[in-house]
Amino acid sequence: MDEIRVSRGIPQGYPDTNPVPIRGGKYGEIISIGLYGKKHFLADEGSYFIATNPTPYTPIAVTTSIITFAETAGAVGVAMLLKNLEARSSQNGKRLYLDYIKLMVVGVPTSATSWQYALVIDDNPLRWTSGGSAITPVNPNGDCNLPSIAQIYFGALTTAVPNNRRLVSRGTLRGVIPTTFDEYIINSGSAEGGSGFASAAASGKSVNQAPPIILGPQQNLALTLWGAANAAAPTFEFEMGWWER
C-alpha cells in the first residue's frame, strides 16, 4: 500500500491534471473535502476566515439616500466589496468561497419602506474607488497564522462600473422599515430553508438563501443595499465568513 503524506495544514496546490500525493491526517485517515458536516475541517487546516467591524457595537455607516440599485461609474450604494487578491497568472491561485454575510442593524434607515440587497461578481481590478473602512480578515483557528488572500471594504463606498458582471443573488432583507437589533443573514450555498420575521414591528432575524458564490483570482463580490424612499444613513455591524482553497 502506498503511504500517504500527513498534512494537517493546507499543502501546496497543484495545477489540474498533475499527479499528486495522497493527503492524510495524523491518524492515518485520507483527507477529502467534506470530512466534517460543519466547517471545522476548513478552519483546522487554516483555510477559513472571518471579517467583522473591528469593535462590537461600533457600527459603520453606509451611504445616505440609497433608494435604488445602481452600477454607473461613481455609483454609491455598495456597502461591502470583497476581492480575491491572488494573481490571475498563478497556476496555483486560490479561489474564495463565500459562506455567509450577517448584518446587524444599529442605526435604522428611518424613512425606508423596505430594505433590499443584491450580490454581483465581476473582475474589474479597480472596482473600489473610495470610501468605507478597510477590514482586516482574521483566522478563527488560534493555532494558525496563515494570512488571507481577501481585500475587504465596508461602509459608504464609491465604486466603478463592474467588468464581466454577473448578478448572483437578489432578495428582500426586510419588507418594512428596519428595526434596531434586526439581524439579516445571507447564507451562501446552503440547502436549508430561509426564515423571516414573526412581527413587522419587533426586531428579529431573517435568513436569505443565496447560491454558492466563488471568486477566482482578481474577482470582486459587491453587496449593494437600498431602500425605497430612504433618506437616512443606516449603520451596521457585520460579520462574514468564507474559505480559501
How many helices and strands in the chain, by DSSP H and E? 1, 16
State the pTM of this model: 0.89
The residue that leads in pLDDT, 193 or 157, is 157
> What gap in Å lies between CA 169 and CA 98, rounded to an integer?
12
206 CB-near residues (< 8 Å, 6+ apart): 173, 174, 182, 183, 184, 185, 194, 195, 196, 197
- The torsion defined by the Cα of 40, 42, 46 and 50, in degrees rounded to 10, comes to -80
Mean pLDDT value of segment 37-66? 91
> What gap in Å lies between CA 220 and CA 175, rounded to an integer?
28
Three-state DSSP at 41 gives helix
Alpha helices in 39-159 (DSSP H): 40-44
52-95 pLDDT per residue, tens:
999 999 999 998 778 889 888 888 889 999 999 999 988 788 99
Beta strands in 22-165 (DSSP E): 23-24, 48-52, 60-61, 75-76, 78-84, 96-107, 115-122, 128-135, 150-159
Instruction: Let me know: does 94 contact 85? Beta carbons within 8 Å.
Output: no
Beta partners for residue 105, in sequence order: 236
Q: Give how far the C-alpha of residue 63 lies from the chain's centroid of Cα atoms, to the nearest Å.
A: 19
- The reported pLDDT for the residue numbered 119 is 98
Instruction: Let me know: does 213 contact 168? Beta carbons within 8 Å.
Output: yes
User: Apex CA 195: angle with CA 190 and CA 201, to 5°?
Assistant: 150
103-124 pLDDT per residue, tens:
999 999 888 889 999 999 999 9
Pick from 13-27, 77-91, 139-153: least confident: 13-27
Instruction: Let me know: does 163 contact 222? Beta carbons within 8 Å.
Output: no
Return the percentage of the chain with pLDDT > 90, whole number.
61
The H-or-E segment that residue 205 falls in is strand 205-210
